[in-house]
Amino acid sequence: MRCSNCGKDIPFTGKVCPWCHTDKSGDQQKYALGFVFGMGGGVLGWAIHGIGIALIGVFVGTIFGFVASSRTQS
> Which residues, in sequence order, are bridge partners of residue 9?
2
Q: What is the pLDDT of residue 73?
A: 46
Interatomic CA distance for residues 52 and 13, integer angstroms: 33
Buried (b) or exposed (e) across 33-45, using 16+ Cβ within 10 A? bbeebbebbbebb
Q: What is the pLDDT of residue 69?
A: 65
Per DSSP, 12 falls in state T
> pTM higher than 0.75 for the full model?
no
CB 66 within 8 A of CB 35: no
From first to last of its 74 residues, the chain has per-residue pLDDT tens of 677 777 777 776 767 887 787 777 777 777 777 788 888 888 887 788 878 878 888 888 888 877 776 654 44
